[in-house]
Chains A and B, each alone.
Chain A
């Protein structure tokens, strides 16, 4: 099963309430995915030349302070960072590859969940309510957010196997469905230098998009290729720095519903996840067509 939800604000006045509006959407999808949950929130953007990374450790009481001190020494510049439960958000005026390399040396067990100028991916095992509480979702601000509640079918229930998956800078993917050609596709992508951390089928779809985008595809082109190369069932929501996109496979077994008002665009697996949004009774509500890309962004793709 699995539930997916997304909320993109058209009205900047609502940005201070993004987490508060989104939390009930995520919780409404608990029945579709009680194993683990996560979200990718976009906001608090760092300046050009800076990079923001979200890190996770398996240890709840992980000593981030020591790691950040060592990282500052290694990179030779000061860091801006804060802890959020089992995660840490790090902002640094340095090259992303250098930061990643330094982290790999200093703390090989720490996972980089996301990188970019705006994105923060926070996820973990447990009920959606526990994840929302753990990362203080309700108080978060931002321009847009996508989330996922997982009922695992293809691979183990772990923090790493929960969604969203990063697909590049400020890009991420959540998935409802199951891919049938992920094993072969993973082998092909590994030959192209894409690395994988789990046995998860969605990570393969994320790796596929990462690879296509590295090849110079636009998001639209990458998803057009995905429709040809991914075999199986999927409704995807894709977070980008400027907005979000939704696409369903041509068979369209997995549900999706969209709602739009002057204030926001929202998507969910089921309407009940949208019922708590303000003005939803006046919203335009519709189902996305199969094999059709829907994109909302501040700028064109």
Chain B
């Protein structure tokens, strides 16, 4: 295991060392100490590395991740795992707003709470939150799954496309075109699998499913004359 202490190395040194592994893999396991809320830690990785960040991270931590497994032993700022393509990002603490924004793939696990706009415009990532999420989460979310073991804030799933949302607790309000849907056997199955991968011991039957009413994003031929 290689250790990078961010009181001695810069964030650029760290990210360069991680990027170098995609060309010439010499070290799979990395430990980052003294992150002290610095931004852009472990971004743009393109190799199956395992990275532990010991402390709180700032904005865009593990953004654009591919293949790597990143664990933050603390809280993260805005946009953790934004635009992630694959791999896994686990936050042991809580996340600020826009967690997993626009992410295409992989698994984002937040053991604490996530702030506003969690999963905004997500495009295929799976997000599992142990606590609660803030307002406008899954705004214009297109694909992937969001699981929330706590409560959801205002306007959940506003202008939703095809992301499936599972919430155990209360939903303060649903956004435009987001509705509660029937929980069928295949949904219980996929939820059980997601909770299992995230390491949460929750009963899938205690969740409700929310999704798109599909009234906003489909072009209605009846309206053609309006254009």
Contacts and interface: CB of A to CB of B under 8 A. Distances in A.
B58 interface: yes
Contacts of B37: 270-275
Interface string A267-293: 000111111000001000111001000
B167 to A, nearest CB: 18
A55 B78 CA distance: 39
B77 interface: yes
A232 interface: no
A286 B96 CA distance: 9
- Output the residue of A271, A281, A290 with the most chain B CB within 10 A: A271
Contact of B116 (A252, A270, A271, A281): A252
B116 A275 contact: no
A168 interface: no
Nearest to B54: A281
Contacts of B145: none
Interface residues of A, number: 14
B96 A255 contact: yes
Given A255-B96, A287-B96, A272 B58 contact: yes
A208 to B, nearest CB: 25
Nearest to B57: A271
A271 B36 CA distance: 7
A242 B149 CA distance: 39
B78 to A, nearest CB: 7
Interface residues of B, number: 19
Nearest to A276: B36
A255 B56 CA distance: 16
Contacts of A270: 37, 58-59, 77
Interface string A240-278: 000000000000100101000000000000111111000
B46 interface: no
Interface string B103-136: 0000000000001100000000000000000110
A287 B36 contact: no
Nearest to B76: A271
A291 B39 CA distance: 26
Contacts of B58: 270-272
A285 B56 contact: yes
Given A252-B134, A290-B135, A275 B94 contact: no
Given A270-B77, A272-B36, A286 B94 contact: yes
Interface string B3-14: 000000000000
B77 A255 contact: yes
A223 B39 CA distance: 32
B55 interface: yes
A252 B135 CA distance: 9
A290 B116 CA distance: 9
Nearest to A285: B75
A277 to B, nearest CB: 11
Interface of B: 36-39, 55-56, 58-59, 75, 77-78, 93-94, 96-97, 115-116, 134-135
Interface of A: 252, 255, 257, 270-275, 281, 285-287, 290
22 contacts: A252-B135, A255-B78, A255-B96, A255-B97, A270-B37, A270-B77, A271-B37, A271-B56, A271-B58, A271-B75, A271-B77, A272-B37, A272-B38, A272-B39, A274-B37, A281-B55, A285-B56, A285-B75, A286-B94, A290-B116, A290-B134, A290-B135
Given A252-B135, A270-B37, 18 more contacts: A252-B116, A255-B97, A270-B77, A271-B36, A271-B75, A272-B39, A274-B37, A275-B36, A275-B37, A275-B56, A285-B56, A285-B75, A286-B94, A287-B94, A287-B96, A290-B116, A290-B134, A290-B135
